């Protein structure tokens, strides 16, 4: 008799645990049914005249991102003089796992000052997009490390 009650209790606990796991899995799946845009990487392309950084923007969500607008702002010691950037994307669609590119760069005297370590280079990237009937935003701030020739992620936020 004790064995039967123990078996019933174990069965009830197992069913409850399985139900909780199923509910959590459903909520996780529902949460992921949206686009997730972020900066996957930043590639460097240097020439005698300029340094250009290409931002790989990727959708890791399960739904397409629509009306994707990328606005990179590159500043040297707080100023944007002598800096180049692509035109802002307008109404781009990024399907899941797709990567789109956007470029920012420096040239001339600004490039020389960066190489000599005389200026601090920063980049703010703002990406707005929509999907699943909602508006989303991603923002990231980077500082350029001249010694390693890499961008260092400082802070960011997303919804």
| Domain residue ranges in the chain | 37-158
Residue whose C-alpha is closest to residue 55's, from 105, 13, 20, 10:
105
Mean pLDDT calculated for residue range 119-140:
94
Chain segment 96-119, per-residue pLDDT in tens: 999 999 888 888 888 899 889 899
151 pLDDT band, cuts 50/70/90, is very high
Q: Taking the model in full, what pTM does it have?
A: 0.74
Mean pLDDT calculated for residue range 54-72:
93
Residue 31 has pLDDT above 60, yes or no: no
Mean pLDDT calculated for residue range 44-57:
92
Fold (topology level) of 37-158: Immunoglobulin-like (2.60.40)
Residue 2 has pLDDT above 60, yes or no: no
pLDDT for 5: 76
81 pLDDT band, cuts 50/70/90, is low
pLDDT for 147: 87
Residue whose C-alpha is closest to residue 151's, from 51, 60, 84:
51
pLDDT for 84: 66
Q: DSSP for the chain?
A: -HHHHHHHHHHHHHHHHHHHHHHHHHHHHHHHSS--EEEEEEEEEE-SSEEEEEEEEEE-SSS-EEEEEEEEEEEETTB-TTEEEPPPP-SEEE-TT-EEEEEEEEEHHHHHHHHTT-S-EEEEEEEEEEETTEEEEEEEEEEEETTTTEEEEEEEEE-
Chain segment 3-20, per-residue pLDDT in tens: 677 767 777 666 777 767
Tokens of 116: 């000599």
């Amino acid at each position: 008799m004790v064995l039967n009650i123990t078996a019933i209790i174990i069965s009830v606990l197992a069913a409850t645990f399985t139900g909780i796991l199923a509910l959590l899995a459903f909520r996780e799946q529902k949460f992921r049914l949206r686009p997730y845009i972020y900066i996957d990487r930043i590639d460097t392309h240097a020439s005698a005249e300029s340094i250009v950084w290409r931002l790989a923007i990727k959708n890791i969500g399960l739904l397409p991102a629509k009306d994707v607008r990328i606005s990179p702002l590159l500043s040297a010691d707080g100023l944007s003089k002598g800096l180049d950037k692509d035109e802002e994307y307008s109404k781009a669609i990024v399907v899941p796992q797709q990567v789109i590119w956007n470029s920012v760069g420096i040239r001339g005297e600004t490039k020389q000052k960066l190489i000599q370590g005389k200026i601090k280079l920063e980049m703010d990237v703002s990406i707005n997009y929509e999907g699943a009937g909602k508006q989303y935003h991603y923002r990231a701030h980077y500082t350029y490390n001249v010694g390693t020739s890499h961008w260092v992620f400082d802070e960011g936020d997303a919804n």
